[in-house]
Amino acid sequence: MRTKEDLKKIIARIDGRGYKAYKDIQGDYDFGNFALYIDHVQGDPYASPSRIRLRVDMEKAGFPEELYKTPIRATALEDFLAREVASVIRRLPRVSGTGRSGEIYIDKGGQEILKRTAVKVGPEYVEARLSIGLPAFGRKIHGRGAETLFFSCLPQIAEKALLYSNIDAGQARKWVELAEDQEYLREELKKRHLVAFVADGSILPRESGISDRPLRGSNVVPFKSPESLKVSFELPNAGVVEGMGIPEGVTLIVGGGYHGKTTLLSALQRGVYNHIPGDGREFVITVRDAVKIRAEDGRRVEKVDISPFIANLPGGQDTKRFSTENASGSTSQAANIMEAVEIGTSLLLLDEDTCATNFMIRDARMQKLVAKEKEPITPFIDRVRQLYEELGISTILVMGGSGDYFDVADCVIMMQDYRPYDVTEEAKKIAEQIRTGREVERAEGPMAVTPRVILKEGLVLSGKKKIKSRDLDTLQYGGEFIEMDYVEQLVDRSQTSAVGEIIRYAVEKYVDGKRTLKEIVDMVFADIEKYGLEVISPFYGKHPGNLALPRPQEVAAGLNRYRGLRVR
């Protein structure tokens, strides 16, 4: 390992030369209190930034082992430190120059605590992975700016954010203990036969349609559970927490418009993740494999068995191996459900506003007019109980327009002025008093999913084809763009990037024309658990890029929306 003086000499030597001479600084340097690893040097001031790592030996960093002794604690501490690094960066003076000159960036995340590659904490060291813009004027190296960046800015980051003595230790402990409590509560749900929990006092509304921060002000209504649904948990760190437990089975969320139905469901779909202190949804906890389902006009479907919901299509199209380049609302929703069952889920989340109406219900009058033999769709109302009773898959459904669902519901929660009320008994009485007269349209036979074997054809990347997230919703995989606008439980662009890298990694290691989609995804996640998230990066052992861990459900969603996917 070279010294920081060696780096200073190289910068002096290449000062004023063409930008590509920056390649000479690539390598490892001992700065005394920390080590600097320059893993990738950009070729142009406008190109993607250079990637570096700052590593402090744990003996110097001084973080107590109890803060990172379990995977969930380590993830929370790493999340906290990424935000500390970002805070230090914000206070640093910006080095001037052309293009990305002087930029310093760390992937710090938003309201969720996700496993990331931005910071790594372990018994031997703590390491921050940064992106930096090497300073230039035009396409000439700006030596003085580079000196400021490497010998003033980076040491301040290492000193102020990576030493336990210089951070807010109380806040770090709060971060770690909160994440541990959230994970504990999520594990407890199954033992209580619950699929979700919303703590009293939670703040569910968000600041705006483009901000995920909590809404503030005197008009915000804190959540308060109905007494009949109230449960309590004794948490390892925070003690007793009380709130509404949503039981397994079929749950309806009803109520008038603008009374909080969708707000509650949105909080539940984000409840698969842990949240930072102050988010308002710290103890809105949902089973980790819950999947939000919606209609998705225009999406591609590759050989999915949608026959439990749709059969006997005009023209004799096969719905046991249904494929289309342009799915309708009902066929896309059927495919989304069956793909969720295929990868594994114990809870479906649906909002009638984003569902295909003809997929959800056919009332008695429509049944009279259009005979069943002329209607290929078995509506969701006639399968929802079968999903639970045969496969153990519960459903939480926002339903403001059809009381027919009272007949199949186990629990009915009414939102009124952002307050929840348990109206199950009232809904059951109404169902008894006012019969709908509709006929159940479900055909006999078990509810089953047909596993699909993934083929390598179309998935292998050649040459310099890229994997890159264009934004949260769009992933470039080679020459194709995977549109994930309606994969609503993706919450971070770095997750989208990771979906692409997981697909590449899976193709290289596990796609063999014999293994099923679920087997492949499970094998990749086993590797991540064993070796860390950076194992999926082609730069394993160096700066792995800005990646955040998605769930298996989002990885499968990305694969299923890739237009080059081929299955057997």
Are 160 and 178 members of one domain?
Answer: no
DSSP secondary structure of 251-290: EEEE-STTSSHHHHHHHHHHTTSEE-TTSS-TTEEE-TT-
> Of the residues 105, 140, 167, which one is the last residue of a structural domain?
167
Banded model confidence at residue 462, pLDDT cuts 50, 70, 90: confident
Closest CA to 265 of 242, 289, 293: 293
Give the separation between CA 519 and CA 508, rounded to whole angstroms: 15
> Of the residues 138, 167, 196, which one is the last residue of a structural domain?
167
* Residue 452 domain flag: no
Are 412 and 309 members of one domain?
Answer: yes
445 pLDDT above the threshold of 80: no
pTM for the structure as a whole: 0.95
Are 40 and 77 members of one domain?
Answer: yes
Are 112 and 207 members of one domain?
Answer: no
Strands 291-293 and 125-132 come out as: unpaired
* Residue 414 domain flag: yes
Banded model confidence at residue 48, pLDDT cuts 50, 70, 90: very high
Q: Which residues contact 508 (CB under 8 A, 6 or more apart)?
A: none
Q: For the chain, how far is it from start to end, CA to CA, in angstroms?
A: 51
Residue carrying structure tokens 């078995």: 378
Give the separation between CA 476 and CA 468, rounded to whole angstroms: 5
How many CB atoms are closer than 10 A to CB 283?
A: 24
* Residue 207 domain flag: yes
The residues facing 347 across adjacent strands are: 394
Are 347 and 484 members of one domain?
Answer: no
Give the separation between CA 29 and CA 443, rounded to whole angstroms: 69
Are 424 and 476 members of one domain?
Answer: no
Total domains in the fold of the chain: 4
* Residue 441 domain flag: no
Are 547 and 475 members of one domain?
Answer: yes
For residues 72-98, average pLDDT: 97
* Residue 257 domain flag: no
* Residue 71 domain flag: yes
Are 352 and 375 members of one domain?
Answer: yes
Domain of 243 in residue numbering reads as: 174-247+271-284
CA-to-CA dists, residue 143 to 21, 46, 53, 544, angstroms? 11, 17, 20, 27
* Residue 262 domain flag: no
Per residue in 386-395, pLDDT (tens digit) is 999 999 999 9
* Residue 210 domain flag: yes
Are 27 and 52 members of one domain?
Answer: yes
Are 217 and 111 members of one domain?
Answer: no
Closest CA to 81 of 122, 48, 49: 122
Per residue in 90-136, pLDDT (tens digit) is 999 989 999 999 999 999 999 999 999 999 999 999 999 999 999 99
